[in-house]
Amino acid sequence: MCGIFAYTGKNSKNAGEVLLDGLSSLEYRGYDSAGMFLPESGVVKSTGAVSHLRRKMPAGYFGKSGIAHIRWATHGEPTEQNAHPHKDCTGDIWLVHNGIIENHKELREKLSKLGHTFISTTDTEVLTHLIEEHLKKEKDFEQATLAALREVKGTYGIAVEYVAEPDKIIAARMGSPVVLGLGEHERFVASDASPILKHTSQVVFLEDGEIAVVTPDRHEIFKLDGAKVDRLAEKIDWNVEAAQRGGYQHFMLKEIMEGPEVVKNTLRGRLLEKEGLAKLGGLESVADEIKKAQRMVIVGCGTAYYAGLTGEYMLEEHAGIPVEVELGSEFRYRHPVLNPETILLAISQSGETADTLEAIREGKRRGALTLGIVNTVGSTIARETDAGIHNHAGPEIGVASTKALVSQLTALALLTMFLGRQRSMSIETGQEIARELLLLPEKVQTILDGRGKIEKLAKKYVKSRDFLYIGRKYNYPIAFEGALKLKEISYIHAEGCGAGEMKHGPLAMIDEHFPTMAIAPSDSVYEKVVSNIEEIKARKGPVIALATEGNDEIKDLADDVMYVPKTLEILSPILTIVPLQLFAYYFAREKGYNVDRPRNLAKSVTVE
Rounded to whole angstroms, how far apart are CA atoms 391 and 405?
Answer: 10
42 Cβ contact partners less than 8 Å away, ≥ 6 residues apart: none
Q: Which is nearer to ligand G6P, 479 or 533 (CB)?
A: 479
Contact indicator for 441, 264 with CB cutoff of 8 Å: yes
φ/ψ bin of 302: left (φ > 0), alpha (ψ from -120 to 50), beta (otherwise): left
Q: Which is nearer to ligand G6P, 360 or 519 (CB)?
A: 360
Find the binder of ligand G6P among 35, 63, 259, 302 (CB under 6 A): 302
Task: Give least dist CB 349 to ligand G6P, A.
Answer: 3
Task: Give least dist CB 262 to ligand G6P, A.
Answer: 14
Q: Which is nearer to ligand G6P, 350 or 567 (CB)?
A: 350
Phi, psi dihedrals of residue 190, rounded to the nearest 5°:
-150, 165
Find the binder of ligand G6P among 38, 160, 298, 304 (CB under 6 A): 304
Rounded to whole angstroms, how far apart are CA atoms 128 and 101?
Answer: 12
Query: Of the candidates 404, 147, 105, which has an alpha carbon nearest to the alpha carbon of residue 269?
Result: 105
Phi, psi dihedrals of residue 35, rounded to the nearest 5°:
-170, 165
Stretch 510-529: interaction string toward ligand G6P, x if CB under 6 A: --------------------
Q: Which is nearer to ligand G6P, 156 or 480 (CB)?
A: 480
196 binds ligand G6P (CB under 6 A): no
486 binds ligand G6P (CB under 6 A): no
57 binds ligand G6P (CB under 6 A): no
Rule CB under 6 A: which of 584-603 touch ligand G6P? 601, 603
Rule CB under 6 A: which of 436-475 touch ligand G6P? none
Contact indicator for 469, 493 with CB cutoff of 8 Å: no
- Looking at residue 251, its amino acid is F
Q: Is 505 helix (H, G, I), strand (E, B) or coil?
A: coil
Stretch 19-48: interaction string toward ligand G6P, x if CB under 6 A: ------------------------------
Rule CB under 6 A: which of 112-131 touch ligand G6P? none
Find the binder of ligand G6P among 399, 413, 499, 510 (CB under 6 A): 399
**Residue 603 is among the residues annotated as catalytic for this protein:** yes
303 binds ligand G6P (CB under 6 A): yes
The sign of the CA dihedral 446, 348, 396, 149 is negative
Task: Give least dist CB 523 to ligand G6P, A.
Answer: 25
Rounded to whole angstroms, how far apart are CA atoms 383 and 386?
Answer: 8
Q: Which is nearer to ligand G6P, 124 or 401 (CB)?
A: 401
Rule CB under 6 A: which of 340-379 touch ligand G6P? 348-350, 353, 356
Q: Which is nearer to ligand G6P, 256 or 525 (CB)?
A: 256
**Residue 497 is among the residues annotated as catalytic for this protein:** no
Task: Give least dist CB 372 to ligand G6P, A.
Answer: 10
Task: Give least dist CB 321 to ligand G6P, A.
Answer: 23
Distance of CA 517 to the CA centre of its chain: 27
Task: Give least dist CB 374 to ligand G6P, A.
Answer: 8
78 binds ligand G6P (CB under 6 A): no
Task: Give least dist CB 525 to ligand G6P, A.
Answer: 26
Task: Give least dist CB 270 to ligand G6P, A.
Answer: 21
The sign of the CA dihedral 235, 240, 242, 243 is positive
Q: Which of 2, 45, 168, 403 is catalytic?
A: 2
Query: Of the candidates 236, 224, 226, which has an alpha carbon nearest to the alpha carbon of residue 192?
Result: 236
Find the binder of ligand G6P among 180, 211, 214, 301 (CB under 6 A): 301
Q: Which is nearer to ligand G6P, 488 or 495 (CB)?
A: 488
Contact indicator for 382, 372 with CB cutoff of 8 Å: yes
Q: Which is nearer to ligand G6P, 353 or 572 (CB)?
A: 353
Q: Which is nearer to ligand G6P, 117 or 600 (CB)?
A: 600
Q: Tell me the CA distances in angstroms from 439 to 184, 270, 280, 406, one per residue in order.
A: 45, 15, 20, 14
Q: Is 393 helix (H, G, I), strand (E, B) or coil?
A: coil
Rounded to whole angstroms, how far apart are CA atoms 490 and 497?
Answer: 19
3-class SS string, 96-126: EEECCECCHHHHHHHHHHCCCCCCCCCCCHH
330 binds ligand G6P (CB under 6 A): no
382 binds ligand G6P (CB under 6 A): no
Rounded to whole angstroms, how far apart are CA atoms 82 and 78?
Answer: 6
Piece of 62-70, 151-159, 301-309, 409-417 that binds ligand G6P (CB under 6 A):
301-309
Rounded to whole angstroms, how far apart are CA atoms 386 and 55?
Answer: 35
Q: Which of 13, 198, 453, 603 is catalytic?
A: 603
Q: Tell me the CA distances in angstroms from 34 to 46, 197, 315, 371, one per residue in order.
A: 6, 21, 39, 29
Phi, psi dihedrals of residue 416, rounded to the nearest 5°:
-60, -40
Rounded to whole angstroms, how far apart are CA atoms 246 and 219?
Answer: 23
Q: Which residue is nearest to ligand G6P (CB)?
A: 302
- Provide the annotated active-site residues: 2, 603
Given the rule CB under 6 A, which residues bind ligand G6P? 301-304, 348-350, 353, 356, 399-401, 601, 603-605
